[in-house]
Structure 1
């Protein structure tokens, strides 16, 4: 399939894991890709592999985001797809101890960072009648812990729904992919934990970056031309419930008083 022939996609946090898989999938289907990340060497290597453009971008810095969109237009002349993949769980304390600064950092990276990218890209997406796919998480839908991260990811869902309603009349679509546990380099030092997590998933495994990339490619393509404002869980059945971890105050992820 060449669903992205003649189209340009900007993928944030694309140096590895889900972002890199998305960039490779779009390029394999004929698209041009601009890949951004804080890891400049890795992002440049991937861009060279895909005959695209690699940029060092911090999504918490508006100047970086604006410059990335400007560079995209300068290099390729258009922008059709924005994939908001930047984010992460940066709060490690139990929620009762989370500071205001930690809350602000989490929201700024994961929620406001995505909003910055949308704002910068929107004029060009309107012109191209393009679309946005934001990578959220099952944490936005179910109780999997990491409350601050979950709240930021849930905010992405509400933001997407409202953008979809506001800009649908201009032909711009907004959707979300909500992955479960995905085998990314972030888990390289926690392989035992990944093995345990398999028991949570009715399909008997954790996800791979390519599982998410396939869903993103669908939503970003014309195959989903009448889908907007929706969240597509890509989660191996974990939201069906039987394998959920016990996250109640009496469960294993409680604060000791």
Structure 2
């Protein structure tokens, strides 16, 4: 039976890598982007996958999009949420209004998708959900330069457990916390960050495809006994 996987935030980076991996495995992939970007349209054409657009931070817009997905005949068996954003939010001097922006992007957007998609999964007999956190959500790896982002990712991990409890035993809900990954954001890394990248046990940054492989595992039947967990994929940075 073909698995149907909705990937929220699949225009680029880890989300796009997950879409390619799932499509190669024979899944029916459903793409999502905030806007109808050129990157999303190209990925849709390359994979022969339908693409939908909405602002993940707008709960009503997410519900309308998921309704459209359903009306097109797709019922997701799996939801991968790679939604998120990061900006500088210095612990002592940064504008705390930006912290709320970080919370909306990194917590409420995934929540909106989970709330919209989970009822379809429950009606369909089950499903798997995975969110994407960050090493910055770990206490020992939180950054005072991106305090709002660190706090939001910590909140996302907590929210993931809450949904795992709320949706058990029918739906599994987990999170992946990547370390430094070579996405578009890598171009903004400072020299200090690049030193931190090389400080992990593997001495390098991760590739989007390496994180995508873990996401695909967690939405597969092979991960049927895993729920309420956040799995680190950080090259051993946390283990130093």
Query: Do the structures match in fold with TM over 0.5?
Result: yes
* Counterpart residue number, 1:244: none
Distance in 2 of aligned mates of 1:120 and 1:189: 33
> TM-score, length-normalised on structure 2?
0.91
* Counterpart-to-counterpart distance in 1, 2:74 and 2:239: 44
SS at match of 2:92: helix
Counterpart CA distance in 2 for 1:124 and 1:196 is 45
CA contact (8 A) 1:187 1:194 kept: no
59-68 vs 21-30, which deviates more?
59-68
Query: Of 3, 11, 26, which aligns to 1:7?
Result: 3
Q: CA RMSD in A?
A: 1.8
Structure 1: gaps spanning 5 or more residues: 242-257
Q: C-alpha separation between the residues in 2 aligned to 1:85 and 1:159? A: 15
What is the count of residue pairs matched by the alignment? 235
Q: Which structure 2 residues correspond to residues 147-186 of structure 1 after superposition, within 5 A? A: 147-169=147-169, 171-186=170-185
Structure 1 residue 196 displacement after superposition:
3.1
- Structure 2: gaps (5+ residues): none
Tell me what 1:240 maps to: 239
For 2:207 and 2:42, locate their aligned partners in 1 and report how far apart those are by CA, in whole Å: 21
Find the aligned partners of 2:187 and 2:99 in 1 and give their Cα distance.
26
Give 1:68 deviation, angstroms. Answer: 2.2
Question: How far 1:54 moved relative to its partner?
Answer: 1.3
The corresponding residue for 2:118 is 122
> In structure 2, what is the Cα distance between the partners aligned to 1:96 and 1:192?
22
- Whether 1:87 aligns to 2:84 is yes
Q: Distance in 2 between matches of 1:193 and 1:75?
A: 48
- CA offset at residue 106 of structure 1? 1.0
- Alpha carbons 2:34, 2:56 under 8 Å: kept: no
- Residues 206 and 236 in structure 1, CA contact (< 8 A), matched pair in contact too: yes
Question: Once the 2 structures are TM-superposed, how far is the Cα of residue 192 of structure 1 from its aligned partner?
Answer: 6.0
Contact 1:59 1:116 in 2 (8 A): yes
| Alignment correspondent of 2:203 | 204
Aligned CA distance change for structure 1 residues 181 and 81 (closer, same or farther; 3 Å):
same
Matches within 5 A, 1:138-149: 138-141=135-138, 142-145=140-143, 146-149=146-149
Aligned mates of 1:119, 1:222 — CA distance in 2? 22
Pick from 69, 78, 82 the counterpart of residue 72 of structure 1: 69
Change (3 A) 1:143 1:198: closer
Residue from 5, 21, 26 that aligns with 2:22: 26
1:62 Cα shift? 1.7
**Conserved? CA contact 2:14–2:208, under 8 Å:** yes
Q: Which has the larger radius of gyration?
A: 1
- Separation of aligned partners in 1, 2:118 and 2:164: 12
